[in-house]
Structure 1
Amino acid sequence: MCVVSRHRRRRAVSVSLQWLLDQSDLDLRLVSGTAADRQVTWAHATDVVDPTPWLAGGELVLTTGPQLPEDLPGQRAYVDRLVAGGIAGLGFGTGLRYDAVPPALVASCSELDLPLLEVPLPTPFIAVAQAVVRRLSEAEVESLQRALTYQQRITRAAVRKGLTGLVGVLSRELRCHAVVLDEYGAAMAASTTDARLLDLVAEHWRRGADDPRGGAVGAETEHGLLEIQRLRGRSAVVGWLAVLHREASEPTDRLLVNQAAGIVTLQLDWPAELIAAYHELGGTLLDLLLDPAQQHLSLAVHLHHFGFERAAPVVLALATAPRAHNRLLKLFTDRLEARARPHVVTRVDGGVAALLVAEDAPDLVAMLDEATREGGPAGVVIGVSGALPQDEVATALAPAREAAQAARRGDQRVGWFDRLALGALLADDAVRERVRSLTVPALAALAGGSNPRDADLLASLDAFLRHNGSWEGAARSLGVHRHTLKARMTRVEEVTGLSLDLAENRVLLHLGLMCRS
Structure 2
Amino acid sequence: MTITVRDIAANPALEVRAVAGHRGLDRPVRWAHVTELHDPVHWLRGGELVLTAGMGFGGTATERRAYVHRLHDAGCVGLGVAVDAWTGGVPAEILAEAERLGLPVLQVEGETPFIAVVETVAEHHAAERTREQSRVLAAQDAMARAALRTGPPGVMSELASATHGQTLLLDRDGMTSVAVPRAEPPWHALVRASVLDRARRPRGMTVLEDGEAAILLQTLGSSGRVLGWLALRSPSPVSAHTRMLANDAASLLAVDLLHSRQARRTPYRERAPILRAAALGTPLPASLLTLPEPPWEVVCLPCADPHALLDEAADALVDVLGDTDAARRVGLCVVDDALVAVLPDHRPRHGERLRTALSGLAPGAGACGARGPADLPSAVDRARHAADDGYRHVDDAGAWELLRSSVPPEGMRAFERAVLGALREHDARHGTELVHTLRHYLDQGAQVEATARELGVHRNTLRSRLRVAERVMGRPLADARARLELWTALHLEPMPCHDGTWHT
Normalized against structure 2, the TM-score is what?
A: 0.48
